[in-house]
Structure 1
Amino acid sequence: MTTSREKKQEIIDAFHFRHATKSFDSSKKIADSDFDFILETGRLSPSSVGYEPWKFLVVQSPELRAKLKEVSSGARGQLDTASHFVVILAHKNARYDSDYVYNIHKNVKQIPEEMIQDILPRYKAFQDDSQNLFESERSLFDWASKQTYIALANMMTSAAQIGIDSCPIEGYLPNAVNNILADEGIVDTDTWNVSVMAAFGYRETEPAREKTRQPLNDIVKWV
């Protein structure tokens, strides 16, 4: 039986193993069961007030990857070589009183109707007074986008724990990516927009140098 100490070491080893892989071994493919596991850790990730304002678009089409490559300078090596490439979308209008949020309350959380109506004022106060999310449509999207990064991190960490490499990607033109997805009829960009991308696969070469990070004492302050 794995001890707590052994489990902690396994997790730390995975963090040391993980690096931003720029080019993958295109001859190696992730098993379906392994990628289902990675996606499941994204699905089970926490989100603010449980709104889950994300979708995971797994792009395996070579034609679509080629189109994305033209507007994604930070993903050119990964789009050509990754076993799996994911565009993570964020909801543009996860307001407390939106149809999307009502569906989460009613059909996902299965909250009774009278309770939904009772809790809405509290969620309104949270989004408006605490987070200032009603200042603009961009504020709501940025808030949703922050949630997607929680799922992204969990997916990359879970991948590393089973020996699969990954790379988070922000080097793309958002409007151009959204237009491509809309033109292809894949995404309703009135509702969803690209938040971040991620590539998964098996490294082609080992990292050129060891992982570097600031010392713990430089980034942590106990008060």
Structure 2
Amino acid sequence: MKNKRDFILDLFQNRYTCKGYDPEKKVSDEDFMTIMEAARLSPSSMGYEPWKFILLNNEGIKKKIRPYSWGAEKAIDGASHLVIILSRTAKDMKYDSDYLKYITREIQNFPEDLAAKRTAKFKSFQEDDFKLFENEGALYDWTRMQTYIPLTNMLTAAAILGVDSTPIEGFNIEKVEKVLVEEGVYDPKHFGIASMISFGYKNREHREKTRRPMDEVLKIVD
């Protein structure tokens, strides 16, 4: 039996971005929901969960977004599951928004005095530490970056389960969003597309993984 370090390194050495899926092979409901639980349980700044996940099963909508989703064509054509990862809008992620009040009081169950302190701390973080109000789009860009935490956890959970996956940014955001909004998939007042991710089983072998050596990516400062 492998030790934990070997297990981790072997897992990441052999995890590949799937370039083609076998449409006849489907991920079980149990495996898919385990992957989504890994996403749901992912960490976020202050625990504010600035994301939502859309499992897109509708073939008609997939067909409509395909021309604008060059990076998702093979996923749309053969993957077992295609998930759209949404990011909360700047409106929802501003320190005094209704959404953050809901999370703080109803999900995290902080009493009013502690909730007020957390809001003040988050206000200081947004205004002073990261200066997220200095240019239009900065707050949304910061929020969107956080969605890559559950994305990464989904990739890892899938690999552990032996499920192939593809993280996807290859699409025209404006055109794909137009389709999804017109189809009523989500409300653009509260969400925007961050990325996509697909799951299934590969229909081909992958080229050998290439990465820079450790001494190029790790600098130790004593």
Matches within 5 A, 1:24-39: 24-39=21-36
4+ residue segments displaced more than 6 Å:
none
The CA distance in 2 between the partners of 1:49 and 1:162, in whole Å, is 29
Which residue matches 1:168? 167
Residue 118 of structure 1 deviates from its aligned partner by: 2.5
- What amino acid is the match of 1:146? M
The CA distance in 1 between the partners of 2:136 and 2:179, in whole Å, is 21
The CA distance in 1 between the partners of 2:135 and 2:37, in whole Å, is 32
Residue 142 of structure 1 deviates from its aligned partner by: 0.8
Preserved CA contact (<8 Å) 1:71 1:177: yes
Q: Secondary structure at the match of 1:157?
A: helix
Residue-by-residue CA offset, 1:67-115 (whole Å, 9 max, x unaligned): 1111111111111111000110000121111011111101110111122
Matches within 5 A, 1:146-165: 146-165=145-164
Preserved CA contact (<8 Å) 1:10 1:161: no
The CA distance in 2 between the partners of 1:205 and 1:136, in whole Å, is 45
Q: Secondary structure at the match of 1:166?
A: strand
Residue 137 of structure 1 deviates from its aligned partner by: 4.6
Which residue matches 1:11? 8
Residue-by-residue CA offset, 1:139-187 (whole Å, 9 max, x unaligned): 1111111110011001001100111111111111111111111101110
The CA distance in 1 between the partners of 2:200 and 2:134, in whole Å, is 40
Q: Secondary structure at the match of 2:100?
A: helix
Matches within 5 A, 1:1-223: 6-93=3-90, 94-207=93-206, 209-223=207-221
Gaps of 5+ in 1: none
After TM superposition, the score normalised by the length of structure 1 is: 0.95
The CA distance in 1 between the partners of 2:172 and 2:180, in whole Å, is 12
Matched-pair identity in % = 42
Preserved CA contact (<8 Å) 1:14 1:160: yes
Q: Secondary structure at the match of 2:193?
A: strand
The size of the alignment, in residue pairs, is: 219
The CA distance in 1 between the partners of 2:73 and 2:147, in whole Å, is 22
Preserved CA contact (<8 Å) 1:72 1:173: yes
Q: Secondary structure at the match of 1:168?
A: strand
Gaps of 5+ in 2: none
After TM superposition, the score normalised by the length of structure 2 is: 0.95
The CA distance in 2 between the partners of 1:160 and 1:65, in whole Å, is 25
Mean CA deviation greater in 7-16 or 172-181: 7-16
